Amino acid sequence: MFKALFNSFKIPELRRRLLITLGLMAVYRFGGFIPVPGVDVQSLKAFFERMGQQMGGTLFTVMDLFSGGGLSQMTIFALGIMPAISASIIMQLLVVVIPRLEQMAKEDGEIGRRNINQYSRYLTIGLGILQAFFISLWLENPHSFNGVLMVQDPGWGFRLLTIITLASGTAFIMWLGEQITALGIGNGMSILITAGIVSRLPTAVHQLVMLSVGGQRQIQPITLVVMLAMLIIVVMAVVAITQGQRRVPVQYARRMVGRKVYGGQSTYIPIRVNHAGVMPIIFAQSIIMFPATLAAFTGIGFLGKVAHWLTRGQWLYTILYSTLIVFFAYFYTAIAFNPVDVADNMKKFGGFIPGVRPGRPTAEFFDRLLTRITLPGAIFLAILAVLPDFIGRWLGIPALVASFFGGTSLLIIVGVLLDTIRQMESFLLTRNYEGFLGQGRVRGRR
């Protein structure tokens, strides 16, 4: 593996892409230390530390994890990449729902995709402005922080300054992600999310060390061994479910075009067990934590009572959260993989599945296969999402430490690393270098 990393810097194009990626990631992390004017950063950081010591929390804890601690320190990158991801998800749904956008994506080619990407940018800025406005109201409300005053000079001056600062930071992060995708290695948005999550790892290790040393230690050495073993098992399971796929054999019939013969070869269509990736967890997490977040914004008592039953650790939260993950796994898979379109494209180019007639029977075959193969992946996602809650309660560790044993964080880190290694390995193999594995290859997630 280390030999492969050394060989990566021997290839000029790959070396340039790696250096650009690392440089843009450094810029992203540097912006995570520039605070927004007018906010008591120390009090806000202490508030988030108190929230991190318990297994509860709202959407703010998730946003703070994805932004690499930017929200807890109220930096210019406090919103992180989440507005861009939300805008991308919304546009994917609108492309399926609105016929004009669907036509633009399928028939207009590269120009249509550019227009849709431009709409996503506009939507990202709009979501950033909306979230920044509510965050400014949240910071001005002392009831959200147990009576502690976070803003010394509240009012529209502070709100406008916060909106301009955070929305500009969101636009700059979006630009960084696009530059990494175009000029660097890997998917830019995923790389920035991973950088934000990994940057919280030292804080989690520090909390774990503080609980493991001293005369009043709360975590015994045997517990640390159990945690290490569980971490290895969970990572292995995430890698297996991320790489797991069902290969559907496809045979293409021979056809004459002029004097040339096309087709006649055998190939396969990979159907992944976890076709939706991390999106079901993000969707379900956003929906189920919305009441608690709204209560923190407005301070409404009724919503506070509702939010109590939808906090981590409550049985209603666990059941509803798991159900939403399974639902969104099927929902997102249906959007990302259309059996009718796949069957029509296969029929158009003379492809067929052995033993299955082309056309409608092929579409029904893919639909039945997706229904069956998505179920274990959805159940695994549900177990992985609620696993940090049970581990934190069982071992008595903080929420930040437990988040690295499952949930969105671990799934994103493993998926992004596998995708990045796959792209680097493709550069190495085309230059006659060995990949990261001595035997075999890292199969792509797509």
Q: Give the DSSP per-residue string, 160-216.
A: HHHHHHHHHHHHHHHHHHHHHHHHSSS-HHHHHHHHHHHHTHHHHHHHHHHHHSSTT
Q: Residue 445: its pLDDT value, please?
A: 42
> Token pair 């055998």 is at which residue?
266
* Pair 31, 169 in one domain: yes
* Percent of the chain surpassing pLDDT 90: 7
What would you report as the CA-atom Rg of the chain, rounded to the nearest whole angstrom?
24
Residue 170 in domain: yes
Contact present, 76 and 125 (Cβ < 8 Å):
no
Last residue of a domain, one of 138, 167, 199: 199
Range of the domain at 106: 8-199
> Which tokens in the block code for residue 331?
């929902």
Residue 211 in domain: no
Determine whether 348 is exposed, middle or buried from the number of CB atoms within 10 Å of its CB (0-12, 13-18, 19+).
exposed
* Pair 40, 138 in one domain: yes
* Pair 315, 371 in one domain: yes
Residue 410 in domain: no
* Pair 195, 230 in one domain: no
What gap in Å lies between CA 274 and CA 239, rounded to an integer?
A: 11
Residue 208 in domain: no
* Pair 231, 158 in one domain: no
Count of structural domains within the chain: 2
* Pair 396, 303 in one domain: yes
* Pair 181, 229 in one domain: no
Residue 62 in domain: yes
Nearest to 2 by CA among 439, 442, 441, 438: 438
* Pair 225, 352 in one domain: yes
In tens, the pLDDT along 151-163 reads: 888 888 889 999 9
* Pair 195, 234 in one domain: no
* Pair 152, 244 in one domain: no
* E strand or H helix at 262: strand 260-262
Most confidently modeled range among 238-242, 251-255, 359-363:
359-363
CATH classification of the domain holding 270: 1.10.3370.10
pLDDT-based confidence at residue 209 (cuts at 50, 70, 90): confident
Residue 429 in domain: no
Q: Count, in order, helices (H) and strands (E) of the chain.
A: 19, 5
In tens, the pLDDT along 18-32 reads: 899 999 999 988 888
* Pair 177, 231 in one domain: no
> Which tokens in the block code for residue 173?
């992060």
Mean pLDDT, residues 101-129 taken together: 83
Nearest to 180 by CA among 17, 43, 299: 17
Nearest to 248 by CA among 336, 374, 369: 369
Residue 414 in domain: no
Interhelix angle 315-336/279-288, rounded to 10 degrees, is: 140
Note the pTM of the prediction, 2 decimals.
0.76
* Pair 190, 241 in one domain: no
* Percent of the chain surpassing pLDDT 70: 80
> Which tokens in the block code for residue 419?
């995708």
Q: Residue 160: its pLDDT value, please?
A: 92
Query: How many Cβ atoms sit within 10 Å of the Cβ of residue 113?
Result: 13
